[in-house]
Amino acid sequence: MPRVSNIDVFHRREQPTISIRTTTAIENLPVLIGESYCRMADYLREQGELLSDVPYVAYHNMDMQHLDVEIGFPVSKALPERGDVRPGSIPEGTIVSCMYRGAYRDMASTYDEMANWIEENGLKPVDTVYEYYYNGPEYPESELLTKIVMPVV
């Protein structure tokens, strides 16, 4: 297994967001993400607002049949709630991050490497894991760019 070489630790500031939080099975996730991004993009257009960073999915658990996911957009300020599109934030804190290139289905070894790095460096993971998507299905799987972020203490 190749070692991941781009693991970094730094302090993140709180980031306002809008998101849709739900529970789903892993096989339904791609369609759910696409539909949620479309609804939130429509909402932002109606509000006259833009994303302030790339879209993300926060995984509040790792139960592949009952994933508790938050599908979201970073924004510049708190926005009003509309239906299942809710304002929120990604909390301030210390994070460990790694930029991953490749197919989503092959990310497990990167997660393992990050978990080992966290342990070796005397840190402890906090519940939620974030994935930030820098491109999408219009790119070949080998070129997909995803930043994996693990809050730690």
Question: For residue range 44-64, what is the model confidence (pLDDT) as tens digits?
Answer: 999 999 999 999 999 999 898
Structure tokens, 112: 């393992």
CATH number of 7-151: 3.20.80.10
Inter-CA distances, 24 with 61, 67, 81, 111, Å: 11, 5, 22, 21
- Residue 84 C-alpha from the chain's centroid: 18
Average pLDDT, the chain: 94
Query: Residue 12: how many CA atoms within 13 Å on its side-chain side?
Result: 20
- Which tens digits make up the pLDDT trace of 59-116? 999 898 999 999 999 999 999 999 999 999 999 999 999 999 999 999 999 999 999 9
Locate the DSSP E strands across 5-92: 7-12, 15-24, 56-59, 67-74, 86-90
User: Is the whole-model pTM more than 0.85?
Assistant: yes
Q: How many residues does the chain have?
A: 153
Confidence of residue 1 (pLDDT cuts 50, 70, 90): very low
Q: What phi and psi, each to the nearest 5 degrees, are found at residue 138? A: -75, -10
